[in-house]
A = this chain, B = another copy of it.
């Protein structure tokens, strides 16, 4: 994976990037956010992405012959989307003739609106005895003249004779990639939608996107209908082990949940499923297996091998998703059995691996998924954290719902932030747990080995009265009936220790230390609630300035929307598995060694 890289420089911008051999000039430019004109999105058919090679060389391709004049080819012009880089190259990019439509998405990323789904209004020549082309050839020729290549399935052929003749051959062709999804009477180019799904083990989020404007038309989230089969990935897999019928149950459950979301999205936006042509779906590897009815069992046992980790494009009808019946479901690729399309999507949304900045992305949950690196080199891994961050295995732990303490501030008194506002505190969710431990460390009631002081050991502490024993175990009373026990602290130590170790192993491989880190992104819903300061105090993340620790929200959903709106960005997502090295922690001796060393809490005065 640690490939030789080649250097490409784009003039007149003086922008340089290093890419693996075989990357196209178009893709490499896009990777660093430099827009090259294109209406076909890099398929070699529109001819607009031409650049002039000044130093180095790329082969002349068939598409160059088709789209460029001979004198252009001779003087070094190439279609950048076809020109593959096999040596260092400098090329000149012509000024953009039009300002591409763009939107700010994900983490301040400017995304060119250039969706995989395209609508083309055409007034076809009507057939006569001198022009007896078949309906599909007539359509193909007209699309080709506008730079779109196309292949058609039987479903759309069945509609063609009638639609063409009823509309007097004035129609709108709907393309998803180069698949002809539909042919619609008249000009329907204004009505073009797609849906982005983040399929979480717990929660599903669907966003209906207007692919013409790039704006969200409606958003809905709901619990995953697979919940009755278990709360986490492993219990879902356990159910799947009962055979194909059980797998189909799980598939039906999640597809029904998605279709429920779609119904609400369509109602809110006032559109029909027939105007929604594509769904981009991200989720962890198990969720995507179950969505497609594929046995996830081997994911749960050594050596953890999924059936697939590729980006799949599957007919919506085969998935059972209620969008246009000839539409497609597109998944993003995964990096490993436990670093799924949701993380790839998060990487896409945050721009990691494409800039010079060295950044850490952590999505904390039952597993901690970790991505660290820059455009030079990027690594990923998953560290098993156990259920502590989900509020499970914690004495007074609970899910992040009404009544859960999600924030703790200790000083002379105890200040609590409780989900639901005025309700009395009923327990402690993951972010509250992290806060409580961090604050106890801060006020000196917990030492760096994780040992909680007894009231006798800190008699003068303003919070001493809250130090108690429950069933013979030390504990700190947070609210009536809600306390944090010494055992809870140990659980958290193991959970954060595992993730911290994963981060450390990757940083060691990369050869970077905390002072090299430009940013740390906390992903996932847990990351949104986590107090960055607390995460740093307990040593979940490396010790960096707290303003470098940034919660990036539902970055998986953001990435899915980006991939839906931008074919170029989608290509970037497809390339990420080849660009990011996956590190398996199981069986690594350095993991075990490091684990022991980070079980305690850091002395930030020493490192900070």
Using a CB–CB distance below 8 Å, which chain A residues touch chain B? 22, 59-62, 65, 84, 86, 127-138, 152-155, 157-158, 160-162, 165, 244, 292-295, 297-298, 302-310, 312, 314, 318-319, 336-337, 582, 584, 586-587
Within the complex, which residue of B86, B162, B244 is in contact with A295, where a contact is CB–CB below 8 Å?
B162
- How many copies the complex holds: the figure is 2
Bound complex: CA A44 to CA B371 (Å): 36
Contact B306 A134, beta carbon cutoff 8 Å: yes
Within the complex, which residue of B62, B132, B154 is in contact with A337, where a contact is CB–CB below 8 Å?
B132
Within the complex, which residue of B22, B153, B165, B295 is in contact with A298, where a contact is CB–CB below 8 Å?
B165
A337 to chain B, nearest CB (A): 7
A216 to chain B, nearest CB (A): 28
Contact A292 B127, beta carbon cutoff 8 Å: no
Bound complex: CA A307 to CA B136 (Å): 6
Contact B132 A584, beta carbon cutoff 8 Å: yes
Contact A314 B154, beta carbon cutoff 8 Å: yes
Bound complex: CA A62 to CA B59 (Å): 8
Pairs A–B under 8 Å by Cβ, sample size 10: A129-B587, A132-B305, A134-B306, A134-B309, A136-B310, A138-B305, A154-B293, A157-B308, A158-B244, A161-B295
Bound complex: CA A582 to CA B153 (Å): 25
Within the complex, which residue of B84, B162, B307 is in contact with A161, where a contact is CB–CB below 8 Å?
B307
Bound complex: CA A452 to CA B22 (Å): 79
Cβ contacts under 8 Å, A307 to chain B: 134-136, 157, 160-161
Bound complex: CA A319 to CA B153 (Å): 12
Bound complex: CA A306 to CA B137 (Å): 10
Cβ contacts under 8 Å, A155 to chain B: 318
Return the chain B residue nearest A306 by Cβ: B134
Cβ contacts under 8 Å, A59 to chain B: 59-62
Contact B154 A294, beta carbon cutoff 8 Å: yes
Contact A308 B136, beta carbon cutoff 8 Å: yes
Contact A318 B154, beta carbon cutoff 8 Å: yes
Bound complex: CA A307 to CA B153 (Å): 12
Contact B129 A303, beta carbon cutoff 8 Å: yes
Contact B62 A294, beta carbon cutoff 8 Å: no
A531 to chain B, nearest CB (A): 35
Cβ contacts under 8 Å, A65 to chain B: 86
Cβ contacts under 8 Å, A337 to chain B: 132
Cβ contacts under 8 Å, A154 to chain B: 292-294, 312, 314, 318-319
Bound complex: CA A155 to CA B292 (Å): 9
A368 to chain B, nearest CB (A): 18
Cβ contacts under 8 Å, A136 to chain B: 307-308, 310
Return the chain B residue nearest A65 by Cβ: B86
Within the complex, which residue of B137, B161, B165, B586 is in contact with A309, where a contact is CB–CB below 8 Å?
B137
- Give the one of A160, A295, A302 with max B CB within 10 A: A295
Cβ contacts under 8 Å, A293 to chain B: 154, 158
Contact A584 B161, beta carbon cutoff 8 Å: no
Contact B295 A132, beta carbon cutoff 8 Å: no
Given A157-B294, A161-B294, verify A304-B134 contact (CB < 8 Å): no
A378 to chain B, nearest CB (A): 18
Cβ contacts under 8 Å, A152 to chain B: 308
Contact A137 B312, beta carbon cutoff 8 Å: no
Bound complex: CA A318 to CA B155 (Å): 9
